[in-house]
Structure 1
């Protein structure tokens, strides 16, 4: 990518390529298992030993030799889970075992209780199943075999697997430090009643909950719509001992007289790489970098915020977190026709998606402007639609980003 922003609006592909080129993964750290939930694994984890590490009884019952053919067997002991005492069984002998008990020798099988009957100090075999009811050593995984590759997002199942092999401090990506500033003199808090010329601030809630769904805390604050106020708020954040890895500024991203995001970022040492895009809503997008911090200037209109968060900011987060998969547009089919109306810009439209017999159906949600939040009542996707003159019929292919929790 060029070091200076292009005079032309950047396409979606160009924005994503710029993010890939300038957003580097954060450092890795080793953390206890509970703190690794939702984090990205940065090491290859292999099995330190066979799993299970010994033959294990899969049912309550009696263990005997696999070649045992007798019906009346002498009981010569018992084993519970956790007992360990090697013992060779002779023909005609059986050992009472509980589910999970280590079998005392190789070459044994287990007959469940319901297939036996007691006969004094002996047992009588009533039925022999083809199954041995034994979980054999190494049947799950062999020592040295890969369990998890780098790039996996650790959920509760993977963490249980790590616990089972003694990997109690996995190496994962450090959590990003996130800062969010909201500008706009017209904004009041959601619990306030707006006065003339005022509106409630929805972008703070949108940004905070976007990151909360990903398990990431964000430091947010509101600043006045003045260049000096924005700079005064940013300077201590950026010069702190631990500056943010990702900075978001809501509003002020356009080129009006009161849009200060671009000049302030440049004054504070950022290099502007993207200043506008060729997709709407979200055309006045700013992306800038300086050592240790990447920054987005997001257009103040809330629907544009929603789109930019779920496409561009999510892509940057995936890079910071070292996730193996970049943002992927899923293939779907339009539920109804779409007419671009001659617009030269791509449209990133709030939508819903649902599986159908012939694939994934995408229903576009109508919106009046980039300040219209009403389609977000139902949206679980952002559909990507071409500009131009050519209408798309129902059933036409369409790419979309699913909005996943």
Structure 2
């Protein structure tokens, strides 16, 4: 009796394991709905209240201060140049989230565009934030939080920690208008994959249609068209359910990423090798300089001099032939390359040679 129960339990567990798709990912992690995205905002303003670390009478700061004082009803007389070591011209950037409504608050980043040394202790004057269409979507103002600092001594020595010319104002902007997404009224919504792949798009379409028959169709390798009922409430519920569907994405293309500046090499799991033999050697040339001091004879007019003495040697390391088995996976490739005992720069040369020989089945991407 106990044995039958144990066998039934094992079969049930096996069925549960088999029911869970391997490497499945949620739809929301594979892409996003078109139009449901943040929008970038930017603005030009002035930070005041700086302890002498401002822009120091630069022309564009003077013009900006004239505009600020004019908006406050205190226009500067012609010919008067304000001392602006306590003010700095800045660029303000922010992201307006999807579905943001008037009255909500968003974070802003403030960066200098002139010769200001630090924004620590400053306050941003009321500044409009503009979208790409030239419309005002938010108003920013507030005290800056600056993570860096700059200190200068009287002898000219200075100390800079992090970046004192960039600050942040948490919830420093108030949204004045939202951006219409049209998700509740358009005839069909579009879902865009992060990475173009026809197989992933097909699997995604099939998974959505199994939950909502006839809902999804493929537009191209990136986009799916979703026909949903009109109305914000029902569409929101269906979009939320679609985002939680799990799909097995297609295996990524075989790639080898090489960063030529840092010497970093990244190989993904799809890379395969055809049978190949590799011989890699290094020639090290060493030049040692050991100059000798030559003293003149006593009571002579000669001078002490250095007589050069050089020793040149050359040593060759490596040169062994290593076999790369065909169809090697990532672990076998790493083990084989470690056996060669090469550095990052030599590894790049070997991978490029394997690619040219047709043994490396992957795309080489050099950054």
TM-score band, normalised by the shorter chain? under 0.3
Greater gyration radius? 2
TM score, norm. by length of structure 1: 0.20
Structure with more relative contact order (C-alpha pairs < 8 Å, separation 6 or more): 1
